[in-house]
Amino acid sequence: MAQQMEAPELLTNREVEQLKLNIARLLVNVADRSTCRGCHAEIWWLVHRNGKKTPYDRDGTNHFVTCSHAKEFKRK
């Protein structure tokens, strides 16, 4: 018989802002800073365990989600 999982607690706005600050600090310390070739935003490249690099915005959002030129970088 499968157990039901409880719904996760929602974070408060203050907790979300603290997490964003922590993510920004982490990226500055472990990722390579660069500039997006499409929108010229400041980004940080993070290498994942599988060896692939992914660009992130300072708040920890995957830059492909926020970049206005993301379609230009889509692999064919």
Q: Is-contact 62 75, C-beta < 8 A? A: no
% of the chain surpassing 90 pLDDT: 50
Residue 48: its H or E element: none
- At 62, is the secondary structure helix, strand, or coil? strand
DSSP secondary structure of the chain: -PPPPPPPPPPPHHHHHHHHHHHHHHHHHHSEEEE-TTT--EEEEEE-TTS-EEEE-TTS-BHHHH-TTGGGG---
For 22-47, how does the pLDDT look when each residue is reduced to its tens digit (9 = 90+)? 988 888 888 899 999 999 999 999 99
